[in-house]
Structure 1
Amino acid sequence: MKVQEIRELIKLIDKSSIDEFVFEFEGSKVEMKKNSGVTYSIAPQPVVVQETVQAAPVQVESLPAAPSAVQEVPAPEAPKSVDTDENLHTITSPMVGTFYQSPSPDAEPYVKPGTKVTGDTIVCIVEAMKLFNEIEAEVNGEIVEILVKDGQLVEYGQPLFSVKPQ
């Protein structure tokens, strides 16, 4: 079925009083439903940002009553994260869709942390409207971190991978 034929069907259904339409032809299936007054909205997932504040060491002066209680308190060590490395390249999603690490559920992932990639290396698939779009690394380097889970919905511009350029 051609795109123009589907457009014509959409126009005809839109002008009619039909609320739902299903059409099957030579293994293809087209389903159309009119908006029934119910509005659906997809709220973006909240991003949780954890910030670690590193305090300076505190020294308490001795009190005459308890001189042995004086101690220097060391500041907690800030956790190291690859995201703080400013030299990393981020591969982002070019569209809204579902992120897949491999070409099929039983196949090996395209890349893992430590995998060397070139600009044309396929790193994942983003499925949008039943179309599987292969995403390329766009940079030569090494995959440092995969930032989303397999099967997760991703937004346009959402970071997918951190890459250490070479």
Structure 2
Amino acid sequence: MTLKQSDIEALVTLFSHSSWDEMHVEIDGEEIFLSNDSRARQGSAQPTHPSAPQSVAPAAQAAPATAPAAATTAAARPAHWIALTAPNLGTFYRAPSPEAAPYVTVGASVTPETEVCLIEVMKLFTTVRAGVSGIVREIAPEDGQMVEYGDQILWIEPV
């Protein structure tokens, strides 16, 4: 049995509507690992066969290298700025299409209902709204960059 895209989408939907912290599925050598913890590692579920190779997802390998840079930038932000975090993992998009203008830019005024970005996972798009009134002061991810649940993606100075 191989996983089809519709199977994966169903698992992602199931996970996003559950109260689970993590989900690890392995079917015929194909693995899916979902977690609400951005520090989680795919390798946390240990294989039962001792000779089975262990692999770590590329995103998990890159996380330690980017952490010091993020900590340095965070120290420079004023304490009253509000961080908007990613509601799920996926690809961060600043605009609804490659040809379109971005939803917001640094310096833009926003209301709680202002759409600020999209996050896409397996062709499912999540619209992210500002949630507060204020001025966009920083946008962290690059367009098309992978983000994880809870990553700080935008900082807003409340007004």
**Which residues of structure 1 form unaligned runs of 5+?**
1-12, 14-19, 23-28, 53-79
Give 1:84 deviation, angstroms: 2.7
Residues 17-36 of structure 1: pairs in structure 2 closer than 5 A: 20=2, 30=6, 34-35=28-29
Query: Could you list the per-position Cα deviations for residues 32-70 of structure 1 after superposition, in whole angstroms to 9, with x for gaps in the alignment?
Result: 873166654321522124888xxxxxxxxxxxxxxxxxx
Kindly tell me the number of residue pairs found equivalent between the two proteins.
115
Runs of 4 or more above 2 Å deviation? 29-34, 36-41, 49-52, 80-84
Between the aligned partners of 1:113 and 1:82, the Cα distance in structure 2 is: 19
Give 1:31 deviation, angstroms: 7.6
Between the aligned partners of 1:145 and 1:50, the Cα distance in structure 2 is: 13
Give 1:129 deviation, angstroms: 1.9
Q: Give the structure with the larger helix fraction.
A: 2
Paired amino acid for 1:135: V
Between the aligned partners of 1:91 and 1:114, the Cα distance in structure 2 is: 15
Q: Which has the larger radius of gyration?
A: 1
Between the aligned partners of 1:140 and 1:162, the Cα distance in structure 2 is: 12
Tell me which residue corresponds to 1:109. 102
| Pairing 1:129–2:129 present | no
| Pairing 1:85–2:75 present | no
Give 1:130 deviation, angstroms: 1.2
**Which residues of structure 2 form unaligned runs of 5+?**
9-26, 31-51
SS of residue matched to 2:68 = coil
Between the aligned partners of 2:102 and 2:71, the Cα distance in structure 1 is: 32
TM-score by length of 1: 0.59
- Assess, with a 3 A threshold, how the Cα gap between structure 1 residues 129 and 123 changes in structure 2: closer, same or farther: same
- Assess, with a 3 A threshold, how the Cα gap between structure 1 residues 102 and 50 changes in structure 2: closer, same or farther: closer
Identical counterparts, % of pairs: 35
Give the alignment's Cα RMSD to 1 decimal. Answer: 3.0
